[in-house]
Structure 1
Amino acid sequence: MRLTVYLAGEIHTSWREEVKQKAAALKLPIDFVGPMEDHDRSDNIGEEILGKQPDAIFKDAAASSFNNLRTEILMKKADLVIALFGEQYKQWNTAMDASAAVAYGKPLILIRSEQHHHPLKELSRKAHATVENVDQAVKALKYIFE
């Protein structure tokens, strides 16, 4: 059995590569998908598809339409979602994706530090599991196959 895991969260650090490498080292049969990690492409996809937009608001609206389309398709096809709330960046997209996973009925592993316990307490209660780091999330993935 293979699983498809959607990796939701900020796109500025290498946490996804860390998850993928650790899962590969354990020989876990997992295919990983996630948001567009090329930030410029994500920001410009609306204009790439629809052409030049009249201002920044329209540019963002066009890009978000295609990014939301991509995210919804990939997340709905996924068997499981891992959402990482990092320390350095605003986490609005992570919150949106984690909430979407809950709404779609997707099993959710939430990664968040202890310091984010309080602000994420409601979302943590909706997740199937809440962990504090990537290593714990990978151990949860491993447990699925044992």
Structure 2
Amino acid sequence: MKLKVYLSGEIHSDWRTQIIEGCKRQELNITFSSAVTEHDASDAAGDGLGEESTSFWRDHKSAKVNAIRIKHAIESCDLAIIRFGEKYKQWNAAFDAGYCAALGKPYITLHDESLVHALKEVDGSAQAWAQNPEQIVNILKYLTTQA
């Protein structure tokens, strides 16, 4: 089975690389997609539409441009992995989880135990909760190799 997996959320650690490399080592038939993970590039996504006098409107335009990519990735994926990190609040990841839930797209949350209470509703709609990238790779291996 081939899967299309969307990787959403926290951009301050290498969790995406760990999952992608772990799946490569297992020779899993998976295609990955993601939002833009480089802060400056993401923040500048709407700059081609003209300069803004306030950061609010710059962020607003860039969020809308970024949403084109994210919407397409979520709608065309088979499964989303949604990572919540410790350092920052990932409101965008929570939104992605809600969008997946609304579309009936399965998703797995990835976060440590300290966020269980804060993410109880998000986890409640998820098909699984993982605490590390290795657990995600194990789930993806199961999904792609079991008859």
- TM norm structure 1: 0.94
- Match of residue 34 from structure 1: 34
CA deviations on 1:6-31 (whole Å, 9 max, x unpaired) are 00111222111111000110001001
Match status 1:118 vs 2:117? yes
- Match of residue 78 from structure 1: 77
Shift of 1:54: 2.7
CA deviations on 1:110-133 (whole Å, 9 max, x unpaired) are 112111111111211100111111
Aligned counterparts of 1:69 and 1:6: Cα–Cα separation in 2: 14
Identity %: 39
- 1:79-98 mapped onto 2 (5 Å cutoff): 79-98=78-97
Shift of 1:82: 0.3
User: Size of the alignment, in residue pairs?
Assistant: 145
Aligned counterparts of 1:129 and 1:54: Cα–Cα separation in 2: 43
- Match of residue 9 from structure 1: 9
- Match of residue 140 from structure 1: 139
CA deviations on 1:22-43 (whole Å, 9 max, x unpaired) are 0110001001001101211110
Aligned counterparts of 1:34 and 1:4: Cα–Cα separation in 2: 11
Q: Which runs of 5+ in 1 are unaligned?
A: none
SS in 1 for 2:104: coil
Letter in 1 for 2:71: E
Conserved in 2, the CA contact under 8 Å of 1:10 and 1:93? no
- TM norm structure 2: 0.93
